[in-house]
Structure 1
Amino acid sequence: MTQASHPSHPAVDRVAAALAARGLTPEITWFDDAVTTAQLAAEALGIEVGQIANSLVFTLDGEPILVLTSGAHRVDTEWLGEQLGGTIARASKDVVKDATGQVIGGVAPVGHPAPVRTVVDTMLADHEVVWAAAGHARTVFPTTFAELVRITGGTPHAVEPAQVRAA
């Protein structure tokens, strides 16, 4: 993992600019190799897998939707679709690229060509610091659950029924 000198990448530059526009200037960490799973990213950072904010793009009734989920969870698309009043399906790589300007494996919560409806997994709130992709499969940045909700304009929501907590 390297943090000092790193290559420039247009998608990462857009993410950094989007974060700065929202008042954040986190250190973007560049890994020596791609970390394409939450488990690999957690191992590289020396953290719990639940601290990884996976950026998953689906479609909700045909429109792109970004689900930021804890790396320790799987999105129950049937259940979440019902909760959101529609049908969720996995987005194709072309839909992901068109909606976010980024490729699968490096999709960030921000830096997209246009706003994307976003759901933020409430279980990310269990961690003081969470890590999200920064526009490339070799990049991440630290943030918090509250910041993810704020910078994305996202809706906090469970992503699987087992996560629903008693009030």
Structure 2
Amino acid sequence: MNELASRPEGFQRVHAALTAVDHPHAPLWLEVAARTAQEAADALGVTLGQIAKSVVFRRKVDDTAVLVITSGDKRVDESKLKPLTGPLARADADYVKARTGFSIGGVSPAGFAPADGAAPPQLYIDRELFRFDVIWAAAGHPNGVFQLSPDALVALTGAPVIDVVQA
């Protein structure tokens, strides 16, 4: 059996999305689950800041998912995000899965599969990721990651780069 075919569907979607844009780094399957940025950094032997952490919010006005991708060593400052999105609420696990197609701990910046015709998330990339030449993002499952540069993340997602973390 093909090794990719034996992986979870979310991981396969991210692999397909990366292949479609000729991304030079295929997703890696980690032997341990990395549900947090710290677990991912430890598993990869990189600094916490090199983990492209996905934080999902629920926009109150229209229930759209808002996905902020920031460094694993930073926290999103919702007051900096609010002028761009309007009021936000925290997103629970069911909402994240329904709006991205991924479970918390594996939310990728590519390969979305929103349920029931929902729009894909509105994406933002925090500028703090640009402190690093190489970053790692989730690949659709807590055991999946892929390597890229911050510029490649912008090219992959088309998301604007903003300052959205706590000082």
Q: TM-score range by the shorter chain?
A: 0.7 to 0.9
Find the aligned partners of 1:8 and 1:50 in 2 and give their Cα distance: 27
The ranges of structure 1 where at least 4 consecutive aligned residues each deviate by more than 4 angstroms after the TM superposition are: none
Measure how far apart 1:158 and its partner are: 1.3
Query: Identity rate of aligned residues, in percent?
Result: 43
TM-score by length of 2: 0.87
Query: How many residues end up aligned between the 2 structures?
Result: 157
- Of the three residues 155, 160, 167, the one matched with 1:155 is 160
Measure how far apart 1:161 and its partner are: 5.0
SS of residue paired to 1:84: helix
Find the aligned partners of 1:85 and 1:29 in 2 and give their Cα distance: 33
Gaps of 5+ in 1: 163-167
SS of residue paired to 2:164: coil
Find the aligned partners of 1:9 and 1:95 in 2 and give their Cα distance: 19
Find the aligned partners of 2:120 and 2:99 in 1 and give their Cα distance: 8
Letter in 2 for 1:149: V
User: Which residue is equivalent to 1:74?
Assistant: 75
Measure how far apart 1:14 and its partner are: 0.5
Computed over aligned residues only, the root mean square deviation of the Cα atoms, in angstroms, reads 1.6
Change (3 A) 1:100 1:127: same
Letter in 2 for 1:91: A
Find the aligned partners of 1:88 and 1:129 in 2 and give their Cα distance: 30
User: Which residue is equivalent to 1:142?
Assistant: 147
CA offset digits 1:101-121 (Å, max 9, x no partner): 110110100100253210001
